[in-house]
Amino acid sequence: QSALEPNLDLHCHANNVAHNTHEISTSQLIVRRGQPFSITLELDFAFSTSESLKLTVETGATLLTCCSINATSSLQTGCVTLNVTPPADAPVGKYSLSIEWAETAQQHSPTGKTLKKPMLVDSLTRSLCWFADDWVYLPDEKERQEYVMNEQGHIYRGTAHCFSPMFWDFGQFEEEMVDICLKLLDVNPKHKRDPEDDVSARCNPIYVGRVISAMINCYDDMGVLQGCWDGNYHDGVCPTRWTSSVSILQRWFQSDCKAVKYGQCWVFAGVMCTVMRFFGIPCRVVTNFESGHDTNNSLTIDQYFDEYGLKKMGKEDSIWNFHVWVEGWMKRPDLDQDGRYDGWQVLDPTPQERSEGMFCCGPAPVSAIHDGHTNLKYDVPFVFSEVNADVVKWKIKADGSKIKMKYLTDTAKVGQKISTKAVGSTAINDLTNTYKYKEGKDANANSFSQRLGLYQSETIRYMLSYRQESCLRNSQDIKLNLKLSNRGHSVKSLSISVNAQVTNYTATKVKNVLHDSCFQRLNAGQGLSTNHPTDRYDRTYFNHFHPVTLKTSRKFHVAFIILCRNIFTLLARLHHPVMVQVEFKNPLNETLRFCSLTISGSGLFRSDIRELPANTTLTHQIQTTPYRAGLRTVVADFDCSAFRDVKDSCTVYVKP
C-alpha cells in the first residue's frame, strides 16, 4: 500500500511569486482569483490516460465550481501537473484541495476494487486587482503597488490650514495576518447566522467591504477596536499611541477576539486598510478636514449659539476638525451596469451612525457623492453631508426659542482638503474635486439643491476672518488676528465678543479659555484688525484649539503639533546589524517623566527609553537586524506624562 501513497507539490514559492502573495508566505499556497497556478501530483506508479483524476476545491460547505483545469502527465514517472485557474468571482477565503484518483483493478488491486486516495491541502484565494474580469481590477500598475502591496503610508491629521502626516504601518503581509483576517470574516454575525450564505457572498467585494467595515469596530459583534473620545484611557491604550495595525490585530486575535482598547477614526481606518489590502482589494486612507456629522439626515449641519456667542454643545450636528475613512476600489454593477459608479468607494469603520442596523458605513461611490445622487446605497447621504453640507447657524434666545441666522449660512465650510498619500511618494494627494464641485460653480449648487430644497442665503453684510501668526507648536502662545469689514452701505455699531474653547477633534468642548469683548463703529466699506494673544490654556489639551466668535459664529481651528528631530541610517542590509539613532529635545522647563520611545516598522524593531530632564537633548541608539528586504519605514513614537503623540519617521532601504 505504501507504493500507492502520493506526494503533492504545491509549488508554493513559484506560485506565490507569480500571484504577488510571496510577501505573505512562501510556505503556504496563496493565490488570487482569475490567475492560474500549478500543482504536481507525484505517484509511485505510471499514471495511465485511461485512469480518472478528480480535483475538488471547497471552502467550508461551499464547492468551488467553474475552475479551469489543464493537465499534463508523464507516463514513465507517474507525475501529473495540473494548471488550475480559480474563477474571477470565487469567494475569498481558505480552501481545501481534494485529489482523488481511481486505479483499474487489473493493474493495482488484487480485489478488483477501485481505490481512492484523498489529498487535502490548504490554500487561500484573494481578490485580484491584476485581472480585468475581477470586480477589484485596477488598471494602473503603480496604483496596484501603492494600494495593495505597500505596507506603510501616511494618515493626515490636524486642520485644513495646519495639518501633518502621521506615518502608519499597515503590515498586511506580517506574520499571522492570514489567520487573523480570515478569523475576522468567520466571527462576523452574518456568518454565525448562516455560514453557507456568508461564505458564498464573499465572492463580492461590496459584501466583503461592508462586513470588514462593521467588524473593525466592536459595537455589534466581536469586532477589533473599541472607540473612546472622552480622554479616559486608563484601562487601555491612548489612540494616539498606535502607529501600526499589526499590534492591534494581533492583540485582538490572541485574546480570542476581545476588543482592543482604544481607537479613534484614524486608528479604525488604518486597521481597515490593512485588512482590505490583505484580501487584495485596493484601498487607501482618506482624511476629510472640516468633516460634517449630520445626525438627522437633513443634509445640513445645524449649529446653536447663545446670545453671547458661546456654542451650545450636545448631541446635535457637529463639524469635526478632521475625520478619516478609507476608500476601496471596486465595481458597482448593483447600482448601474454602465460602470458609472465603479471606482473608489467610501467605507468608514468608525462607529458613528447605524446602517441597516449595524455600525458600518459604505461602500458609497465617490462619483455618487460628487454628483449628489443620495438615493443610492450604501450611506451616500451621510457621506455627502460629511463633505458638502451647508452649515446653518441658530441663535438660542433666553426664553429657549431659536432664530435662524440666514445670512451666516456657510456653503464652503464643510469638506476641505480631502487628502490621501500620493502614489509612490510621500507627497499629499488632494481628492477634494473628486468628492464635490468647486465652490461657486453652478453644478455644485445643483448637486445640493437636487437633494434639498434650501433657502437662498441673504447677502452677507460683514466679512470676518481669523488668521494665525504661524502654525503652532506646543509650549508656544497662541496669537490670533481678527479681521472684520463692513460690506454694507451705512455706518454700523457692533458689539464684538471673542470666545475661545478647547475641544477635541470631534468638536466636543473641553473647557473655555478666553473671553474678550469690545464695541466698534464701522463705516461702510471700513475694515478692522485686532490681535488676541492667548496663553491661557492647559497644555493637557494641546491637540485641538477651537475659538468661537459672537454674532458671526465663525470658528478657527489650530492644531498643536510637536515635532521631534530624528537621525536614521538610510541604508541597511538584510540580516545585517544596523544602528538606528533617534534625537529628541525636551523644550519645556520641566522634567518629562514616564517617557517611552517606541521604534516600529514593518520587518524592523521596538524599544523604550527613560525620563528626560528639562531643556536637554536625548540621543538614543538601537541596534537591530532587518529581516525583510525592500523599502521600509521606521516610525519613532515618543510619549510622556506631559504630552503624547510625538511622531516622526524615516524611510530605510534594506538591500537583499
Residue 363, pLDDT above cutoff 70? yes
Residue 543, pLDDT above cutoff 60? no
Residues 6+ apart with CB under 8 A from 153: 167, 168, 170, 273, 284, 285, 421
3-state secondary structure of 633: strand
553: nearest Cα among 460, 444, 440: 460
Indicate the average pLDDT of the chain. 77
Do the domain assignments include residue 88?
yes
Half-sphere exposure of 377 (CA within 13 A, CB side): 9
Residue range 235-248, pLDDT digits in tens: 999 898 898 999 99
Distance CA 548, CA 313 (A): 12
Residue 259, pLDDT above cutoff 90? yes
Percentage of the residues of the chain whose pLDDT score is greater than 70: 68
Pair 439, 486 in one domain: no
Pair 261, 241 in one domain: yes
Residue range 389-404, pLDDT digits in tens: 988 888 888 888 888 8
Pair 504, 573 in one domain: no
Do the domain assignments include residue 139?
no
Distance CA 36, CA 15 (A): 9
Per-residue pLDDT, averaged over 445-472, amounts to 48
What CATH code is carried by the domain that includes residue 633?
A: 2.60.40.10
Residue 74, pLDDT above cutoff 80? no
Q: How confident is the model at residue 204 (pLDDT cuts 50, 70, 90)?
A: very high
pLDDT of residue 25: 83
Pair 101, 243 in one domain: no
> Among the listed ranges 7-11, 19-23, 526-530, which one has the minimum average pLDDT value?
526-530
Pair 296, 420 in one domain: yes
Pair 413, 470 in one domain: no
Query: Is the Cβ–Cβ distance between 200 and 206 less than 8 Å?
Result: no
> Which one of 259, 281, 303 terminates a domain?
281
Pair 195, 273 in one domain: yes
Do the domain assignments include residue 244?
yes
Number of domains in the chain: 5
Higher-confidence residue of 489 and 207: namely 207
Q: Which parts of 296-417 fold into alpha helices (H)?
A: 366-371, 380-388
Q: How confident is the model at residue 216 (pLDDT cuts 50, 70, 90)?
A: very high
Q: Which parts of 279-402 fold into alpha helices (H)?
A: 366-371, 380-388
Query: Is the Cβ–Cβ distance between 653 and 630 less than 8 Å?
Result: yes
Do the domain assignments include residue 247?
yes
Residue range 86-130, pLDDT digits in tens: 888 888 888 877 777 665 444 444 433 333 434 344 455 666 677
Higher-confidence residue of 493 and 553: namely 493
Strands 492-503 and 428-430: unpaired
Distance CA 514, CA 534 (A): 7
13 assigned to active site: no
The pTM of the full predicted model, rounded to 2 decimals, is: 0.74
Kindly state the helix (H) or strand (E) to which residue 207 belongs, with its residue range.
Answer: helix 205-216
Structure-block grid coordinates of residue 168: 502608519
Pair 595, 529 in one domain: no
Catalytic position from the list 19, 154, 191, 323: 323
pLDDT of residue 315: 61
Residue range 146-193, pLDDT digits in tens: 999 999 999 999 888 778 888 899 999 987 899 999 999 999 999 999
Residue 455, pLDDT above cutoff 50? no
265 assigned to active site: yes
Distance CA 369, CA 390 (A): 15
In Å, what is the CA distance from 289 to each residue of 34, 292, 410, 593?
39, 9, 15, 33
Pair 403, 513 in one domain: no
pLDDT of residue 386: 94
Catalytic position from the list 198, 294, 317, 348: 348
Structure-block grid coordinates of residue 65: 465550481
> Among the listed ranges 18-27, 134-143, 167-176, 208-217, which one has the minimum average pLDDT value?
18-27
Query: Is the Cβ–Cβ distance between 596 and 639 less than 8 Å?
Result: yes
3-state secondary structure of 31: strand
pLDDT of residue 655: 78
Angle at 143 between CA 267 and CA 373, to 5 degrees: 70
Kindly state the helix (H) or strand (E) to which residue 350 belongs, with its residue range.
Answer: none
Task: Find the length of the chain.
Answer: 656
Do the domain assignments include residue 445?
yes
pLDDT of residue 481: 63
Residue 63, pLDDT above cutoff 70? no
Residue range 301-336, pLDDT digits in tens: 888 877 666 666 556 788 888 999 999 999 999 999
Residue 9, pLDDT above cutoff 80? yes
pLDDT of residue 464: 55
Higher-confidence residue of 74 and 406: namely 406
Do the domain assignments include residue 134?
no
Distance CA 103, CA 452 (A): 72
Strand partners, 620: 582
Pair 323, 407 in one domain: yes
Catalytic position from the list 218, 265, 360, 595: 265
What CATH code is carried by the domain that includes residue 292?
A: 3.90.260.10
Residue with cell 472607540: 227
Residue 214, pLDDT above cutoff 60? yes
Pair 543, 609 in one domain: no
Per-residue pLDDT, averaged over 24-31, amounts to 85
Q: State which residues form the domain around 554.
A: 462-559
323 assigned to active site: yes
Per-residue pLDDT, averaged over 74-97, amounts to 78
Residues 6+ apart with CB under 8 A from 619: 581, 582, 583
Pair 419, 311 in one domain: yes
205: nearest Cα among 115, 276, 113: 276
pLDDT of residue 97: 77
Residues 6+ apart with CB under 8 A from 10: 29, 39, 121, 123
Query: Is the Cβ–Cβ distance between 578 and 561 less than 8 Å?
Result: no
> Which one of 247, 281, 315 terminates a domain?
281
Higher-confidence residue of 536 and 477: namely 477
